[in-house]
Amino acid sequence: MDLDFTAAEDAFRAEARAWLTAHVPAVPLPSLETAEGFAAHREWERTLFADRWSVVSWPEEYGGRSAPILRWLIFEEEYYAAGAPGRVSQNGINLLAPTLFEHGTDEQRARVLPSMASGEVIWAQAWSEPESGSDLASLRSTAVRTDGGWLLSGQKTWSSRAAFADRAFGLFRSDPETGRPHQGLTYLMFPLDAAGVTVRPIGRLDGKPAFAELFLDEVFVPDEDVIGAPGQGWRVAMSTAGNERGLTLRSPGRFTAAAERLTGLWRDGADPSDTALRDRVADAVVAARAYRLFTYANASRIAAGESIGAESSLNKVFWSELDIALHETALDVLGPYGELSDEATEAPAHGSWAEGHTFSLAGPIYAGTNEIQRDIIAERLLGLPKGRR
Amino acid sequence: MRFLLDDEQREFARSLDAMLTASDTPGAVRAWAAGDTTPGRALWSRLAEAGVFALAVPEPYDGLGPLPVELAVAFTELGRHAVPGPLVETVAAAALLDRLGDQDAAAAWLPRIAAGKAVVSLCVPAVGSPYALDPDATDAVLVVAGDTLLLTEESGPVQPSADPARRLARPLGGTVLARGPEVAAAAAHAADVAALVTAAQALGLGRALLDRTVAYVKQRTQFGVAIGSFQAVKHRLADTLIALEFAQPLLHSAALALTGPDGPSAGREIAAAKVAAGDAAYAAARAALQLHGAVGYTDELDLSLWIRKARPLREAWGTPAACRARVLTP
Ligand SMILES: Cc1cc2nc3c(=O)[nH]c(=O)nc-3n(C[C@H](O)[C@H](O)[C@H](O)COP(=O)(O)OP(=O)(O)OC[C@H]3O[C@@H](n4cnc5c(N)ncnc54)[C@H](O)[C@@H]3O)c2cc1C
């Protein structure tokens, strides 16, 4: 057992750090949940891609570096430590791409992945529906067979960044006759500017159009945009869900960097006699460290050929609660300045704590609510009996 | 990088677990609490045969160590079985005597510790508690007062702990074994070792509490169904598992840090492991008690032996507040 990096891994870290030092914007970009910020973040994706830093774990033919998971973790640590911008392409990179690697065709990969890696096409996830949140398999949007493809109809909602994105991927009921909710679903990709699509942005808590609802009225999708076999959509989707909750959606680097910044903030400004606050800072630091080490252990497990299953639910609950703890504690350390929104010109650290706090509050809801994750942990990892759900 | 226990370490844990499962440790715990140390000492000898104490003793003194990772593995199993006695203190005393640079003292004690023939308590009031653990059941009590190391023979009356198997008493007087800055340095290192293995014990204790509670809620029925099918019960146990799972890598990396040179980062890592494992174990005890209902609140069920240890382990060798302060020390 060790935590040592090889010379090659250290060199990779140094290369990433040097590149980031030279390229990370000196002034933070505007919030990616605004039109202006979205465009600026898209531009940043292009910059990353130009030097093959946007998708380091992908094969080289699609613009990556074929980096194994440990190097990806190293890159992410450097990325967030450098204060680099949030990733506007994350839905595509973390959710659609793994699905295409596992279930897509060569043609789909060649067509979809490079423009995703460069930020030219930004993807939105269209899974949830107004009546289908946690009980996703109850979804009702339909895909009806037509000449050479499918016609999509229905309503999707809470689709992150769909207000500004280019394309979306999601699940549709293609065979309503099966009588079983998990069967007869098909996984498809579609353009958000196609005839029959209406996008209505929805303001999140702070009013920014961070997600949108999609109204679909007989939107044509060719057969080549079906992922996996028609009718097998649930199975395809579930491999993506594991990615979302597990390692790839929230890398530890993000939290260790935030814990570092929190420690600095606390050292610079907090009342040293407030030991209750000190304890919360320490707990956030300990949890960020635990998350990093837990991920290293998982990376070791994956390198040894094991796979991560329901364990990804442990991660999901942990990182989402850690993210809130980090940001709440930071706002408390800021005292009266903690109230300022990220749009206040005097908001500390360009409002990144405020915006981060708003974002963190959604963590226990998206990617499968923490209640559902706790059910999965109890039933699949502890072997407790299934209850009504 | 391979941040996982290797096969040998896992096998070591499995064999200790099997040995302790077959040893009626609850009986030994109850006897120890009542002042009868015979079964506990018999267990101690078996642990020594399995090599547990040799892990803290260097090779020149008949040991295998120091091997902090293996010690953490072993103490997780000792905690899982709630083994009584000054186990932590004995390995910490070994660490202290090893670091002291006094060959006579090392030669006098370390081979006996490795062989399980010497049960030693250690008291470092500056970082721990003013009480020695189990002084009436030991072959020696070492006390560190500033830069002086004392061997004491006498102690005050036993002050009952929340965990009756922990017998606490104030050491009284003693003869000087060593004096000087090397005592303070060796004591600081010993206290780190003690904190690490206490954290390991807490983690094992928490895992045992969770295992027992999971088994219980699967078979206890109310309202016509197993109580383990209720979501409030499930979620509490899921949270218990999460806390334990994320404490474990902190423990392992703290042990790795102790294999390198001592420094502030090792201290921070040990403190982080101690605070996480201590809190996780205490939360596991609270969940175990709650989900067993009134039967969990009795001292008749063996579960109580585990529940009552959770709080003392959280305080011993570094209180939560002290650990949290240390985590943030630059
Ligand atoms: C910021 C954000 C971004 C999102 N982005 C996307 C996206 O890009 N694409 C997309 O498709 N979706 C997205 N979502 C939607 C998200 O996936 C859903 O919100 C989530 O699945 C929960 O569904 P719901 O909101 O309908 O809540 P509901 O399912 O109605 O749940 C409401 C509450 O009831 C609880 N609950 C429900 N069932 C149970 C049960 N069996 N046991 C215990 N508690 C239960 C839930 O845990 C929750 O607390 C996003 C959500 C947010 C907040």
Domains of chain A: residue spans and CATH: 7-87 (no CATH), 123-232 (2.40.110.10), 246-382 (1.20.140.10)
A–B: how many Cβ contacts below 8 A?
148
Per residue in A281-302, pLDDT (tens digit) is 999 999 999 999 999 999 999 8
Rounded Cα gap, residues A235 and A227, in angstroms: 11
CB contact under 8 A, B275 and A283: yes
Domain B185-328 has CATH 1.20.140.10: yes
Per residue in B294-328, pLDDT (tens digit) is 999 999 999 999 999 999 999 999 999 999 999 99
**Is the predicted pLDDT of residue A247 greater than 80, yes or no?**
no
Radius of gyration of chain B (CA): 19
| Most ligand 1 atoms within 8 A of CB, residue of A250, A366, A377 to mutate | A366
CB contact under 8 A, A299 and B250: no
- Which run of H or of E encompasses B121? strand B120-123
Closest CA to A76 of A343, A263, A303, A291: A291
Neighbouring residues of A260: CB distance < 8 A, sequence distance ≥ 6: A81
B223 residue type, one letter? F
More confident residue, A97 or A245: A97
Taking contacts as CB-CB distances below 8 angstroms, the residues of chain A near B319 are: none
CB contact under 8 A, A285 and B272: yes
Per residue in A307-347, pLDDT (tens digit) is 888 889 999 999 999 999 999 999 999 999 999 999 999 99
Instruction: Tokens for A77, please give them.
Output: 């640590």
**Angstroms from B319 CA to nearest CA on chain A:** 12
Rounded Cα gap, residues A65 and A50, in angstroms: 12
* Banded pLDDT at A389 (limits 50, 70, 90): low
Does the beta carbon of A211 sit less than 6 angstroms from any atom of ligand 1? yes
pLDDT, position A302: 86
Per-residue tens of pLDDT for chain B, all 330 residues: 999 999 999 999 999 999 999 999 999 999 999 999 999 999 999 999 999 999 999 999 999 989 999 999 999 999 999 999 999 999 999 999 999 999 999 999 999 999 999 999 999 999 879 999 999 999 999 999 999 999 998 999 999 999 999 999 999 989 999 999 999 999 999 999 999 999 999 999 999 999 999 999 999 999 999 999 999 999 999 999 999 999 999 999 999 999 877 777 899 999 999 999 999 999 999 999 999 999 999 999 999 999 999 999 999 999 999 999 999 998
Q: Under a CB-based contact definition with an 8 Å cutoff, are residues A73 and A252 in contact?
A: yes
Cis omega (within 30 of 0) on the bond before A25? no
Domain boundaries, chain B: 185-328
CA B310 to centroid of chain Cα atoms: 11
Three-state SS for A140?
A: coil
β-partners of residue A215 are A155, A198
Closest CA to A355 of A85, A26, A45: A85
Whether A107 is catalytic: no
Closest CA to A186 of A199, A170, A164, A167: A170
**Is the predicted pLDDT of residue A245 greater than 60, yes or no?**
no
Taking contacts as CB-CB distances below 8 angstroms, the residues of chain A near B229 are: 384-387
Q: What is the share, in percent, of chain A residues with pLDDT greater than 70?
A: 97
- Which run of H or of E encompasses B258? helix B231-259
Check residue B58 and report its DSSP letter.
B
Taking contacts as CB-CB distances below 8 angstroms, the residues of chain A near B270 are: none
CA A371–ligand 1 middle distance (angstroms): 10
pLDDT, position A25: 96
pLDDT, position A309: 85
Rounded Cα gap, residues A18 and A41, in angstroms: 21
Rounded Cα gap, residues B187 and B143, in angstroms: 10
Q: Under a CB-based contact definition with an 8 Å cutoff, are residues B144 and B126 in contact?
A: yes
Does the beta carbon of A386 sit less than 6 angstroms from any atom of ligand 1? no
pLDDT, position A242: 64
Q: What is the share, in percent, of chain A residues with pLDDT greater than 90?
A: 89
* Banded pLDDT at A248 (limits 50, 70, 90): low
pTM of the full predicted structure?
Answer: 0.96
CB contact under 8 A, A5 and B4: no
**Out of A33, A77, A244, A311, which one is annotated catalytic?**
A244
Does the beta carbon of A160 sit less than 6 angstroms from any atom of ligand 1? yes
Neighbouring residues of B239: CB distance < 8 A, sequence distance ≥ 6: A317, A374, B283, B287
pLDDT, position B41: 97
**Angstroms from A338 CA to nearest CA on chain B:** 22
Q: Under a CB-based contact definition with an 8 Å cutoff, are residues A124 and A157 in contact?
A: no
Test mutation, A74, A289, A298, chain B, max B CBs within 10 A: A289
For chain A, the average pLDDT equals 94
